[in-house]
Amino acid sequence: MDGLMANWDAEREVVKQGLLEDSLVGTCPVCGKPMVARTSRFGGRFAGCTGYPECTQTYPLPWTGKIEPGTAACTECGGPTVLVTAPKAKEPSVRCLDPACATNYVPPVPVGTCPKCGDELLLIHSAKTGKRFVRCTNYSRDEDPCKTSYPVPQRGEITPTGGVCEPCGSPKVVVATRRGPWEVCLDPACSTKEARTPARGRRTSGKRGRAASSRGK
């Protein structure tokens, strides 16, 4: 029995070490111990120091994509870096783990006028989550804030068109990907998008829908 327990402890240590290596994202700049990718109770990903609780250093990680350790420290701040391969991307991109690093800052881009308050709408890249979205400049004002905010595709170049959607008054943008550019309304609740949903549903039914119809006859 003692021999079995000894083997079990050794195998458990091998598995533990393998899991650590699989989740490794870099070296903690505070204590020098390995940092690993973890998932919070809210589903977000972050890099945490294995020296916890003595060392509480953490960094947010992008919500999507494959994370691998970087090959060198950040050239701007000297912090740890990771390689992020976004879904469907062919090559990884280098990202500094520190959201406050200048390399993670992307200037907001004006995309049009807010249909609710008339102020400016900005395309914002979050250094904390790695996501982008469109939000009114009055979103966080102290008195009578405007809560206009739109999700946008996370891949592809987004270019303002200067035009607005006639049914809802929201700005239109062009999203360019490998499949080609297309013009979209920013408001996901716009009636023009609701009108297209049934059409897509009918197309996806395909042969099954026609087969069911013929059986009914």
CA distances 136 to 126, 139, 192, Å, are 15, 5, 22
CA distance 154 to 97: 19
**Residue 9 binned pLDDT confidence (cut-offs 50, 70, 90):** low
Q: Taking the CA of residue 107 as centre, how many other CA atoms within 13 Å lie in the half-sphere pointing to its CB?
A: 2
96, pLDDT greater than 80: yes
- Domain layout of the chain by residue ranges: 33-105, 109-188
* pLDDT tens digits, one per residue of 125-182: 987 777 899 999 999 888 889 999 999 988 789 999 999 999 899 999 999 977 778 8
Residue 47: name the closest of 69, 67, 25, 30 by CA. 25
Q: Model's pTM, two decimal places? A: 0.64
